[in-house]
Homo-oligomer: A and B are copies of this chain.
Amino acid sequence: MNFKIEEAIEILERTPKVLHALLGGLSLNWIDCHEGDGTWSPKEVLAHLIEGENEDWIKRLELCIEHGVNKPFKPFDRFSHLQYVNKKTMEELLNTFSELRYNNILRLNQLITSPKTLELKGRHPDFGTVTVKELLATWVSHDLNHIVQINRTMANRYRDDVGPWIEYLGIYR
């Protein structure tokens, strides 16, 4: 077990900056590319991260603290962001995500008042009992997971362009 709240927050506060650096001002061919039917473009992944800020992490943390295992988390809709993503520009989404994440880290710092808070429990609709520590470790891993997905999706555009070098590039395996 490696989780430490201070180190977790280091990643959470970097993700908006990483996505700004990677996606800000980028051509539509990169922003809207995907890996095939049913897969998400970088822009759609960002909208999914915004949904998480609005509907998932902090709401679930509050449920753990206020109700423990007595009130299960609302299932997270993994597809709701696809309804509005095309109405927003990448810059709008990047700014929205940054603002939401900034405020959610402030809220997180208010809610985690002692190491004991990390051991509080909640009820996941699929998994049953989970801990605050698992929820927060998942928040961090979910960020890193989707940064990986965005970069892998973009790289996939050049799968045929790299010629024989495909053999050396783990990202294409």
Contacts and interface: CB of A to CB of B under 8 A. Distances in A.
A125 B123 CA distance: 57
A85 interface: no
Contact of A145 (B6, B20, B127, B170): B170
A130 B7 contact: no
Given A26-B10, A134-B163, A148 B157 contact: no
Given A22-B18, A26-B10, A169-B138, A155 B145 contact: yes
Consensus secondary structure, chain A interface: helix
A90 B40 CA distance: 33
Tally of this chain's copies: 2
Which of A30, A133, A161, A168 has the most B CB atoms < 10 Å from its CB?
A: A161
A155 to B, nearest CB: 4
A68 B148 CA distance: 36
Interface of A: 1-4, 6-7, 10-11, 14, 17-18, 20-22, 25-27, 29-30, 124, 126-128, 130-131, 133-134, 137-138, 140-142, 144-145, 147-149, 151-152, 154-155, 157-158, 160-165, 168-172
